[in-house]
Structure 1
């Protein structure tokens, strides 16, 4: 099972997108749909996902253009391109644009599910230590930040949970309600987010978390 991993499916064919939504939901994934490139671009820049299944032939903005913009914005979410364009040159183009995997249509459902599971496993393995904008490294399992100078900063469980959400999507702006849901699932008050932003700033400096007026927070710039 998926343990509730958050999957974005970007597909303009309504019947195929509905089928994929049902398929991934039955496997236990939290599924979000986007039917054009501009919507997909916005969703990934403003919300957290664990993986994206991305069509190439999208209205408004092509799939590979969307992918290139995500990567230029520093978004590291793993992407599987699902496309009718399946010759070797097409696959190379997709991988060179920043995709981690590429599957041609028509596809086998079991293979698609297996590839997404592998994508999630690889991402979890490579993202155990996170790099912050100032060059510090953050180990969520140890709840420890190591500065470039070698100094270490220990975080509480809740401070670590908040920093991990921000650091896994370093350029993404998170609404407070989203941070509450991702970092503090048992909390009920939005003020909890502000409190732990304050605690992180007190331990690591005000710049560790940036306030984006009218929206929420993101990882601070150096």
Structure 2
């Protein structure tokens, strides 16, 4: 999913970009209204996350101009303006959803994925990451084996999500560490090997193997 985050607070920009990238999304950021509108027109993303209080051009005006120019990208408004009146104004200006600050990151992700599904090109959504009988539910992030949810720890789920996103391809150990232990500077690098060991045991009955490629990282292989 390609996202355009329009937010003028640098710390919020950095935090959201890092978090959503760790959850498998591509995030482009900008901090003012005119730039946001120009980027939106030049390369329409899958979803726009739009703050309302922006330098250069208010977020509502950005949204109104985008809609008038024919841009139909779904928009999730993120703002500290949380009154009912503000929400109505945003929705009337063409927003698809509204999430007041502060917000829960899991809820944000769920809303973004819901918007992406509902507004997918031609009503079709991209196939879910899968290999063999394993698949990752795009909405919840849960891992299914033959249509039953697997009982995995959060770090095991994060690791398997990353590997399923690139089936048959090695994912570097460094990248996996960033996804499984985001922002945890006190965790030792070797901790990823513990998560790999535990996940490998839980995959033993599935026919999908978690393979170590020395110097390259880890990958999933089906069969054999």
TM-score range, shorter chain: 0.5 to 0.7
Q: Does 1:128 align with 2:122?
A: yes
| Alpha-carbon distance in 2 for matches of 1:117, 1:23 | 14
Q: Look at both structures and tell me which one has the larger radius of gyration over its CA atoms.
A: 2
The DSSP-based 3-state class of the residue aligned with 1:59 is coil
2:85 equivalent in structure 1: 89
1:164-191 CA deviation, whole Å, 9 max, x = no partner?
A: xxxxxxxxxxxxxxxxxxxxxxxxxxxx
1:125-171 per-residue CA deviation (whole Å, 9 max, x = no partner) reads: xx417xxxxxxxxx9xxxxxxxxxxxxxxxxxxxxxxxxxxxxxxxx
Partners of 1:112 and 1:95 lie apart in 2 by 17
TM-score, normalised to structure 2's length?
0.54
1:54 aligns with 2:50: yes
Cross-structure match for 1:64: 60
Match of 1:106 in 2: 102
Match of 1:118? 114
What 5-or-longer segments of structure 2 have no aligned partner? 125-224
Question: Partner residue of 1:25?
Answer: 21
SS at match of 2:85: helix
Residues 1:78 and 2:74 are matched in the alignment: yes
Cα separation, 1, equivalents of 2:73 and 2:23: 20
CA distance in 1, matches of 2:95, 2:77: 7
- 1:97 & 1:53 partners in 2: Cα distance? 14
Q: Secondary structure at the match of 2:103?
A: coil
- CA offset digits 1:87-139 (Å, max 9, x no partner): 11110000000000000001111111110011101101xx417xxxxxxxxx9
Q: Which runs of 4+ in 1 moved over 4 A?
A: none
TM-score (norm. length: structure 1):
0.54
RMSD between superposed Cα atoms in Å: 1.3
Q: Distance in 2 between matches of 1:47 and 1:109?
A: 26
CA distance in 2, matches of 1:30, 1:112: 15
Count of matched residue positions in the alignment of Structure 1 and Structure 2: 124
